[in-house]
């Protein structure tokens, strides 16, 4: 399977979880991948798994200078970019009544502002046939206790794709949203424990949490020409959680 042969991809939040699973999948389909993340240790561990067709750049999507370094590295080695998976995100919970300005700022700086500049700064390297994928969330269309900032930020991300499909008209660059539900990343498994994973799984019609590879498969679909007539769409990979 070589749908992404010769393509160059950037994946933010690419050192762990969904981002790392997508990096593996993109490389397996023939792509060259730049992963971007904040922790050197996680980047190093990811690189050991990803092999020769990957590069790591350390940085935060909330920092424009870091993003500039990311794209300078991509330009220097590959010249152009075909796929941007704007996947970096944060999410902590605070109930209404306890919300602080700092909590809102941290959430929106990464999830919304970070996504906007991740894509804006990638555009000079992209052209016809390019695919931008934004990581939304089933939280973007549902309510859950304590998720004020996270849910609102992911609803914002979903809506970015609408405007950008119009802004990118005529460029041949597509932009779509990938909205995972409860996904059993290493981090989530650690945080939830066995019981917690069962409880999250039980909320979905499929009765289980997602494997990160299942989210990565949908990302590969959106990255490839198999989704060539899709733009501004949302693909919910959530076991039906927010679909019924």
Q: Report, in Å, the least distance between residue 235 CB and other proteins.
A: 7
Q: Report, in Å, the least distance between residue 110 CB and other proteins.
A: 25
Cα–Cα distance measured from residue 236 to residue 113, given in angstroms and rounded to the nearest whole number: 22
Q: Report, in Å, the least distance between residue 237 CB and other proteins.
A: 5
Q: Does 5 bind other proteins (CB under 8 A)?
A: no
Cα–Cα distance measured from residue 155 to residue 143, given in angstroms and rounded to the nearest whole number: 11
Residue among 123 and 220 whose Cβ is closer to other proteins: 220
Binding to other proteins (CB under 8 A) within 189-218 occurs at 205-207, 210-211, 214-215, 217-218
- Write out the E strands in the chain: 8-12, 32-37, 54-58, 83-86, 131-135, 174-180, 234-237
Which ranges in 175-237 belong to alpha helices (H)? 186-202, 212-223
What string marks each residue from 149 to 188 as x (binds other proteins by CB under 8 A) or -?
------------xxx-xx-xxx---x------x-------
Q: Does 21 bind other proteins (CB under 8 A)?
A: no
150 catalytic, yes or no? yes
Cα–Cα distance measured from residue 177 to residue 138, given in angstroms and rounded to the nearest whole number: 11
Binding to other proteins (CB under 8 A) within 218-237 occurs at 218, 220-221, 225-237
CA distances from 171 to 6, 117, 126 (A): 20, 18, 9
Q: How far is CA 48 from the centre of its chain?
A: 21
Three-state DSSP at 201 gives: helix
Check 7, 24, 154, 200 and give the catalytic one.
154
For the annotated catalytic residues, the residue numbers are 150, 154
Q: Which residues bind other proteins (CB under 8 A)?
A: 1, 161-163, 165-166, 168-170, 174, 181, 205-207, 210-211, 214-215, 217-218, 220-221, 225-240, 243-244
């Amino acid at each position: 399977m070589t749908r992404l042969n010769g393509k160059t991809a950037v994946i933010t939040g690419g050192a762990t979880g969904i981002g790392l699973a997508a990096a593996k999948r993109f490389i397996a389909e023939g792509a060259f991948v730049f992963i971007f993340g904040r922790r050197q240790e996680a980047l190093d561990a990811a690189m050991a798994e990803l092999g020769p067709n990957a590069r790591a750049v350390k940085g935060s999507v909330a920092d424009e200078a870091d993003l500039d370094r990311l794209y300078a590295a991509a330009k220097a080695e590959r010249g152009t970019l075909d796929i941007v998976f704007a996947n970096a995100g944060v999410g902590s919970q605070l109930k209404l009544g306890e919300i602080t300005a700092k909590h809102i700022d941290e959430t929106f700086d990464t999830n919304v502002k970070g996504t906007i500049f991740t894509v804006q700064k990638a555009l000079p390297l992209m052209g016809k046939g390019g695919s931008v994928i934004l990581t939304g969330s089933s939280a973007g269309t549902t309510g859950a206790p304590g998720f004020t900032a996270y849910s609102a930020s992911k609803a914002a991300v979903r809506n970015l794709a609408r405007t950008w499909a119009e802004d990118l008209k005529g460029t041949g660059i597509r932009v779509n949203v990938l909205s995972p539900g409860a996904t059993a990343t290493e981090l989530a498994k650690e945080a939830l424990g066995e019981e917690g994973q069962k409880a999250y799984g039980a909320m979905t019609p499929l009765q289980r949490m997602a494997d990160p590879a299942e989210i990565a498969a949908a990302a590969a679909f959106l990255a490839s020409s198999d989704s060539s007539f899709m733009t501004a769409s949302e693909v919910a990979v959530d076991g039906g959680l927010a679909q019924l």
